[in-house]
Structure 1
Amino acid sequence: MAQIKNNTKKSSYKHLSFKERQLIEFWHKDGKSNREIGKRLGRHHQTIANELKRGTTTQIKENKKVRQLYFADTGQAVYTKNRKRCGAKSKLISAFDFINYACKQIIEFNWSPDAIVGFVKSLEDFDKPTVSTKTLYNYIDSGILPIRNHHLKMKLRLSPKKKRSHQHKKELGKSIDLRPASIDSRQSFGHWEIDSVLGAKTKDDNALLTLVERKTRYMVTAILDDHTEESVCYALKQLEKQFGHLFPHVFKSITADNGSEFISLQDTLNHATDIYFAHPYSSWERGTNERHNGLLRRFIPKGTPIYKYSKQFIQQATDSINFLPRKLLNYRQPVILFLEELEKIKTKT
């Protein structure tokens, strides 16, 4: 199977700085792709594409040759012009006195934005426009104020809590307790177990998505840019496109653990596939997938950065596993059994 890769990053959005635009100009002229530039800057490749469109100008040489070039100065100028028209800018201007007061209190007295907003609201004689605590933080993070993170002492000391869904993972699909006996017995084809494999466990490393079909033991791997819900959803959507109208017949059900990266499986597949969630800390309930991850570790040892391995290498490792004869399959190869089942489906549909 072809490998799948996406560059989706899960992070709060910040506008590009002029320094980033200069780097985009340099790398773009050097022939780097949008995805490569985005990866270097920690940005989505679509952000890079939008910026290139924004800052590209047409030049006509003396020989009437037309060429289009991106300039950081042009991109910054267009950005500044657009920002002047936005509502946030007008609010910043209307609350000018409050913003000046907030900057002074933060820089000179180490007040927190929340303390400033709360204090001003308690003043009966402060009748000028203000902004909320969140908006004040947004202004600071966007770099449009003379305040930086080192001015915010408490922000440096406190680690922000990660957003977590309050909905239990099993409520998004079905508990493994409700999985039919035919799936448990492995007599029916099209039932998969899913998991993710990490390398160096760093934010800039890739991850692998692994799916194993329970009856044939056929394994599918997909390269992810990161260990996030968005990357998993993107990979599954690409897999769905790859199989086309056969997808609901090939992927009748998927059993996952309670990892946050699998929180949107049911919605991603538009309820065409039944999703089951194993009990917490019960890896044996997805033993087939765990076993295949162990086989994959022969090629990619734990702690080794996944980005060091090429797409071709990972595909060859996956093929090696799928072509490995299994005793429990009467020494038949998973890939052969999978292709046989695929032919049966094509004949019926």
Structure 2
Amino acid sequence: MGARRGRPRLPVELEYEFWDVVRAGCSIEEASVAVGVSVSAGRAWVGERGGVMPPATAGPGSRRLSFAEREEIALLRAEGRGVREIARTVGRDPGTISRELRRVSHSPVSSAQRRAYRASTAQGDADARAKRPKTAKLATNLPLRREVQQRLRENHSPEQIAARLREDFPDDPEMWVSHETIYQALYVQGRGALKRELVKYLRTGRAVRKPHRRPDKRRGQIQGMVNIADRPKQVEDRAVPGDWEGDLILGSTESGSAIGTLVERATGFTMLLHLRGDHTAETVAGAMIEKMLDLPEQLRRSLTWDQGSEMANHAQIAEATGLDIYFCDPHSPWQRGTNENTNGLLRQYFPKGTDLSRWGPGYLDKVAAELNARPRKRLAWRTPAEALDKLLSEQSNPPGVATTA
């Protein structure tokens, strides 16, 4: 009998995307939904790694063929296209395509199977080759392993063990090990140089390591928030101005800077919030209240925002401005698509990874004015400023109502 065929393995790109979302502070369930896999698949990834996140720099590199590229290669190969034509279509070097097809032809399958290139099979083989785990130090250094195991049994934490080993063996680097290596040896499949039962000596005693949230990310729902599902249906038709979408665009990690963006749904009219070097809830609330109170009351109907901790003071904002504030579902940027599109335009002025605190309120107003003066196709080539003026004028002078000269 042939080998039993199981389910095809999910592309490794999805797994690293999943870990990126977890690293950003989301739960396993949220991260699974965000990347489009089942919660059981997300839990399986966590179980395989013992809850230990891969390094942020890990993952498939740009030099590797993606699953989408392999699917395209499979289709073109089935149509009888040659290597050079496939390479041109996919945008890869012919040598890359040739090696990819050659690997499949040399795989240990029957000659009938060998003629067919299958994207899922090729991706699974590539993922297996890419793992290539380095031999763990604790697996090859027996004296070090014994020392670590003994100290774990004495209820020392991995961090305490790592520090004391350097103190106790100052002239022997072979007896040094990092606390993260100890955790991985306990938890990660394939790196289990330490006996798994030793986890019971850790303070938590967990069989699976719990992924840590980043300290600057939210740890729960914002108190008193109203979900977008409860937003009135009339907001959707964009017929009346005054419904806004908002978010932050973030600067470099080192600077901790950000700019608040507010976009009116009906017209795309944009306002930018100067946050004076940080984006705490207090700073965002103060900047938004100040900016919104510059608008006439009829333009302060509602605001839809992401579930970021910067909106923890939403009740204060609502009371001061009269806005009804609604929050999107986690990781659902399409629920404020007008704002997302505008943030993309703003990156022309404020590139990713730069210090945004260098820009003063005057420059932010100048950028907003430029965006509001750009003709837009969806506005029949009117500008957002012109469209907003037109809607306000129609509200002031509705059809059928005579105006006095």
Scaled by the length of structure 2, what TM-score is found? Answer: 0.42
More strand per residue: 1 or 2? 1
Say which one has the larger Rg: 2
- Of structures 1 and 2, the one with the larger relative CO (CA 8 A, separation 6+) is 1
Scaled by the length of structure 1, what TM-score is found? Answer: 0.48
